[in-house]
Chain A
Amino acid sequence: MFARALGLKHPGGPKVEELAGEGKLFIQLPYVVKGMDLSYSGLYTAAIGKIGHCRIEDLCYSVQEVCFSMLAEVTERALAHTGKREVLLTGGVARNKRLQEMIEYISKEHDAEFHVVPPSLAGDNGAMIAWTGILEYASGRIIRVEESRVKPRWRLDEVTVPWMEES
């Protein structure tokens, strides 16, 4: 959304990362973490308001630093709380080197193995859905196509994963 506001073409993420690499000055932006939840709405509004008032490289750099620091902090809290031994970074932004660096750092500190999806699959939602389908099928969770439907509000923590061992 931020990349679009800057007028960058899709996918804007890599371009933001590139610009951020040229950033030097840190601009203060809202940082909102509550327990293990975070919110980007205030940050987005504030960042949009700064467009045209500062170097675009500095803004990209600051947005990236604040966004990722929030992610790193909740990841760290989750690791400390659950004592899990593995971290998997997925999704389009998983391609970002700076985010990888931060999450890897946190993982090491908590003796957890760090993994990241291959760049070619990071933003590929079709592949993610298809792979989940294969796992579901292999676990015997089958639904007829006619009975299947879209569940837009399905939350990650509500998904049953019978193919995973208890950890």
Chain B
Amino acid sequence: MLFRKGAEAHLFLEDLFGRKVLVKVRVTKNYRVTELDLLLRRQRTVREARLLHAAKRAGVPAPTVYLVDVDNATIIMDYVEGGTLKELIKSGRLPGEELRKRLYEVGKSIGRLHRMGVIHGDLTTSNMILSRGKIFFIDFGLGDFSRSVEDRGVDLHLMKRALESTHYDVFEEAFGIILQGYRSSFSGADAVIEKMWEIERRGRYSER
């Protein structure tokens, strides 16, 4: 069953021996030559599977990878059922104390990813799902392996921008708590946070 159509992949919800799984297929793009198309789809499939695995090793809840079919640019992974953090914040369903705990958890997870050299690449509240009592990180499709302060800074900056635009009413407190969590799990946090402010000041992202 087709579940969602993204810019580069189609997602299907299927049954694998009684288990709900998500099948992510990176589709052929007919505008580019076959050689490049195959190369990109294979490369990105392998990278995403590796990133998902690395996230779990870092102690960050993420979908379990069941199968990687490189030739067909397909990943079969655990379907993480639950509401997104975005919905949770917007609905106001979660009591303040509980929400603060969750945001701290998010920050802690980002710190763990960065400590492992994993850059998520698209940290938004839509890519975080509360399931089985934990916040799962999904969609590592734009991610990369890197230990550079710059890449980590950009990653954090994206999280900040996502919060600012989607949850402007609680942004300041929410981001503050995320940073606390981030510092708690990653010793290089302060340098990255400093870099994040610098990235913002660089002017690309602000009025001059």
Interface residues, chain A, CB within 8 Å of chain B?
Answer: 26, 28, 31, 34-35, 65-66, 69, 72-73, 76-77, 80-81, 101-102, 105-106, 153, 155, 158
**Measured between alpha carbons, how far is A31 from B33 in the docked complex, in Å?**
13
Asked whether A28 lies within 8 Å of B121 as measured between CB atoms, the reply is no
Q: What are 15 A-B pairs with beta-carbon distances under 8 A?
A: A26-B33, A28-B39, A31-B36, A34-B121, A34-B142, A65-B32, A65-B36, A69-B29, A69-B32, A72-B29, A72-B31, A76-B7, A81-B7, A102-B31, A158-B207
Range for the number of chain B residues in contact with chain A: 10 to 19
| Candidate in B29, B31, B122, B207 with the most chain A CB atoms within 10 angstroms | B31
Give the shortest distance, in Å, between B35 (CB) and chain A (any CB): 4
Inter-chain pairs besides A34-B142, A69-B29, A80-B6, 5 sampled, C-beta below 8 Å: A31-B40, A77-B7, A81-B7, A102-B31, A105-B30
Asked whether A105 lies within 8 Å of B31 as measured between CB atoms, the reply is yes
Give the shortest distance, in Å, between B124 (CB) and chain A (any CB): 11
B contacts with A: majority SS: loop
- Given A34-B121, A76-B7, A158-B207, A26-B32 contact (CB < 8 Å): no
Contact residue among B32, B39, B142, B208 (Cβ-Cβ distance under 8 Å from A35): B142
A contacts with B: majority SS: helix
Q: Mark B40-81, 1 if CB is under 8 A from A, else 0.
A: 100000000000000000000000000000000000000000
Interface residues, chain B, CB within 8 Å of chain A?
Answer: 6-8, 29-33, 35-36, 39-40, 121-122, 142, 204, 207-208
Tell me the nearest residue of chain A to B5, going by C-beta.
Answer: A80
For B8, the chain A residues whose CB sits under 8 A away are 73
